[in-house]
Amino acid sequence: MAAPKHRRTALERVEKFLSEIYFTDCNLRGRLFADRCPPASLSCFQTPRRIPYDEAIRQEFRPAKVGDSFGPTWETCWFKVELSIPLAWAGREVHFVWESDGEGMVWQDAQPVQGLTKEGEKTSYILTSSLKETEPHSLTLYVELACNGLFGAGKGSMIAPPDPDRRFTLSKAELVVFNRDVYELLVDLEILLDMARLLGEENQRSFQALYTANQMVNVCDVMDPSTFPAARDLAAAIFSQRNGESQHTIHAVGHCHIDSAWLWPYEETIRKCARSWVTVVRLMECNPELTFACSQAQQFEWVRSWYPGLYAQIQDFVAKGQFIPVGGTWVEMVRIMDGNLPSGESMVRQFLQGQRFFQEQFGRICSEFWLPDTFGYSAQLPQLMRGCGIRRFLTQKLSWNLVNTFPHHTFFWEGIDGSRVLTHFPPGDSYGMHGQVEEMLKTVKNNKDKGRVNHSALLFGFGDGGGGPTQKMLDRIKRMSDTDGLPRVQISTPDRLFSVLEKESSQLCTWVGELFLELHNGTYTTQAQIKKGNRECERILHDVEVLSTLAVVRGGAFKYPASQLQRLWRLLLLNQFHDVLPGSCIQLVVEDALQHYTALVTVPSMGYAIVREPLLPAQPVSVRKQEDGSITMENGVVTVCLDMMGHLTSLRLVGSERESVPDGCYANQFALFDDVPLYWDAWDVMDYHLETRKPVTTLLKPLEITLAGGLRGSASFSLQIGKSSTLTQEIILDATCPCLRFLTQVEWKEAHKFLKVEFPVQVRSTNATYEIQFGHLQRPTHWNTSWDWARFEVWAHKWLDLSEHGFGVALLNDCKYGASAHGNVLSLSLLRAPKSPDATADITHHQFTYAVMPHLGSFQDAGVIQRAYNLNFPLHAVPASSAQSLAWSAFSVSSPAVVLETVKQAEGRPEAVVVRLYEAHGSTVDAWLQTSLPVKEVMLCDLLERPAAQGCLPLEQQGVRLSFTPFRLLSVLLVLRQ
């Protein structure tokens, strides 16, 4: 028979033959299921709690039926399903089909056996592939149904706040005979149809696929299964035509990104992991070639604790090399782990806790850092990866850039210290592919490094809310393994992919510095209480570790609280997941996170000195009110002038004629912006918000002196912010201090507004400097290019600085992250008010402190870094007995360029202490580390606390000599004398 003459009619003919909507009475799709029968019995009970199986099956079940609705949101329904398979179905493949709006999990013989989620294309559980007469025909299953969907229960849209009254309908529960031969034909035809549509009319292979599909429809009589083999032979002839040797190879890896909390609470994530991973295990039993990459040690720990039977199966498949732990961190962090917001030490602990878990549980650490979904990437990440045994990095989120297209998919990424890691972005720009022809073609077409490398990754499986791979995804990939017209596709592993990329890496380009995501920059500010809790708890854990280490060394009965500290660190690390710390989560998650922070308790810090009743300094603080209502402050270091609105109108260093505030400008100027993004409410702030700036001008209480001077002087005022909010601020100057502090309290009741404070300064520079983890970097203060203006809102940690030669001004803070420096204006982002996915985000009382510091010379030489540490790590004052010694110092460092960041007991080695230091100025320097601890041996170690190969370092009278290059991080292992 001649081939069809009209391409469109041939395409549509095949489409209708496969359609789930049209002609199902006579097309192939309508024959997928043969006989059906309902359950012998269906009953349920409902509970507001997430309870274990053993407790659930003891409850009283009531009759239920298909069509019933259950709820409200976040409830759990347990169904008892009694099945009786008809004897006439002997020899047939039998499935239990379940469709509902909620997420389900099937339990059989007291074990979870299958996840059932309509949104994840998993609606059936295979009871038998060929029913034998000797098999039991009656059985009982339990289905645990969560009253939430794969993406929570947003009211009206996915990211809207959850609908608390949503109902979830059971639309199907039945036994069916599954026609495997019909299914295989459907997959064949779907791939041929996609090849015909997507390869294009200029491609001969497109017409070959179309004509073959059309001929298969001619051959296939849907009422006569004996015609199916001939149709399948036609498809096999196309699929068996091979590629040339130069064809691109795609490494397909099963994947299931699960947000540890987002549009659902932490507790629901535990069940999402079980539903998704048990489904992967079932697939592996039937498909021994399937590989599955799985990150986040926290999620493994959840499954180990709550589903030990499933965890044992996972361990078996890890041993077989199919279930592959990747990532090396405790959770996928926010802006990395928030590749942006967590402190440097928190990022170290993410790797330390994650890699130790993987070593203990699976006998190996991860060699790839796996971060498919995150909100940015700190320029210190390469050094941290290398320090934790990782040289490879996979991510893809930069494909979300709103302005600029990132120029590479495979490249070397170099951090601020010079460390490099091989980095790969899957060119399909997704971590949730479905194994379709379109995705394979996009992977090749989109690849920015053609000619440099000929291999790339494709991660397939439903993600974010869980789900993972399906059998159909695998079956598609098998047919495309080596088919002419399509790239080669092989089920692979991360190690196999990176090994071949390493062999091809000689022509790769290098990207130096941060990987800035041009989106989601509202997450630097949203949910301010979470961010404040994070900063405070990082400080608390730092202080507890220092104090505990020193208490042990000083002798006595005190024991280092290693297990308690591990538990508290893991709580903090959990909250650094990339939808919690950024604030892009529902209210339930915010409440969980704040409860975790309250679990951390404060303890004093490192070393001590006796402080007697204070004497007035040589230059006490003076505070004076002027006739015009303005107030001046002076402490011998700086002179300050404030107007009645709390504006800073003058800021000078004593002895210098240099004014920090330009003529006619106000520093400490609050400004309110409209804040309505394009879609991602809690995530994004758009560039056009800058066009809506409104200075705050409504004075509620003018500036008045609150402390007249001496050791401290201060003045306070109050403003109305927007329609409903108020701000009260105390401006504080301490004796001998170059910083002016602003203790701020806000009653925030706005909607879709963005509050910032601005400091115009009399400094001209094309770059501003921002602190990041264990260092700093520069960003432009101009918008010359699209790469520049895409950074209209950036992130920093404790400080940012604008300097010209000989003079500069720094802005410090104790819990803020969003910032910008445009022209000569330093701006700190204070509060946002998004309404999705948490309608109550930030609507509460807030307290925070920031400070301004003018300085001569460079910010390094002026001590800006030390002042920012002082603001964030204040001294602890505790009562002392007169019998104590006057002073005792545990450690000192000879160079001001080197920061001693961490003191802790070594993991698993109570006789050893780890000290972590970094070079903070961007210089090459030798420094002496001195200690009064009874040290027996000193050696360098990596971030996993494994001793370095060079052995012990010499311990001299001046201490231990350490060599630093710019921003280098060193960990020193001190073995103590017992």
Which residues are the active-site residues? 373
Structure tokens at 937: 């041996």
At 510, is the secondary structure helix, strand, or coil? Answer: strand
Q: Which residues pair with 742 in a beta bridge?
A: 731, 850
How many alpha carbons lie under 13 Å from residue 24 in its C-beta half-sphere? 9
Q: φ, ψ for residue 196 (rounded to 5)?
A: -65, -45
CB 766 within 8 A of CB 778: no
Give 839's DSSP letter. T
How many alpha carbons lie under 13 Å from residue 136 in its C-beta half-sphere? 6
Q: What gap in Å lies between CA 206 and CA 317, rounded to an integer?
A: 39
Element (H, E) at 869: helix 864-872
Structure tokens at 593: 């996170």
Give 102's DSSP letter. S
* 617 Cβ neighbours under 8 A, 6+ residues apart: 636, 711, 735, 736
Q: What gap in Å lies between CA 151 and CA 802, rounded to an integer?
A: 43
Q: What gap in Å lies between CA 50 and CA 75, rounded to an integer?
A: 8
* 758 Cβ neighbours under 8 A, 6+ residues apart: 667, 669, 670, 671, 825, 826, 827
Structure tokens at 777: 């970097």
**Ramachandran region of residue 626, left (φ > 0), alpha (ψ -120 to 50) or beta?**
beta
In three-state form (DSSP H/G/I as H, E/B as E, the rest C), the secondary structure along 256-325 is: CCECCCCCCCHHHHHHHHHHHHHHHHHHHHHCCCCCEEECCHHHHHHHHHHCHHHHHHHHHHHHCCCEEE
Sign of CA dihedral 792, 797, 799, 805: negative
Residue 320's alpha-carbon distances to 30, 57, 390, in angstroms, are 39, 34, 22
Q: Which residues pair with 293 in a beta bridge?
A: 255, 324
Strand order of the β-sheet with 891-893 is 891-893, 925-931, 960-964
Q: What gap in Å lies between CA 855 and CA 862, rounded to an integer?
A: 6
Give 583's DSSP letter. S
In three-state form (DSSP H/G/I as H, E/B as E, the rest C), the secondary structure along 620-653 is: CEEEEECCCCCEEEECCCEEEEECCCCCEEEEEE
How many alpha carbons lie under 13 Å from residue 559 in its C-beta half-sphere? 4
Q: Which residues pair with 146 in a beta bridge?
A: 76, 103
Q: What gap in Å lies between CA 843 and CA 747, rounded to an integer?
A: 8
Q: What gap in Å lies between CA 533 and CA 531, rounded to an integer?
A: 5
**% helix / strand / coil in the chain, to the nearest 5?**
25, 35, 40
Closest of 439, 474, 459 to residue 184, by C-alpha? 474
Closest of 691, 728, 687 to residue 706, by C-alpha? 728
CA angle, 252 then 254 then 260, to 5°: 135
Q: What gap in Å lies between CA 493 and CA 495, rounded to an integer?
A: 5
What is the CB neighbour count within 10 angstroms for residue 613?
Answer: 4
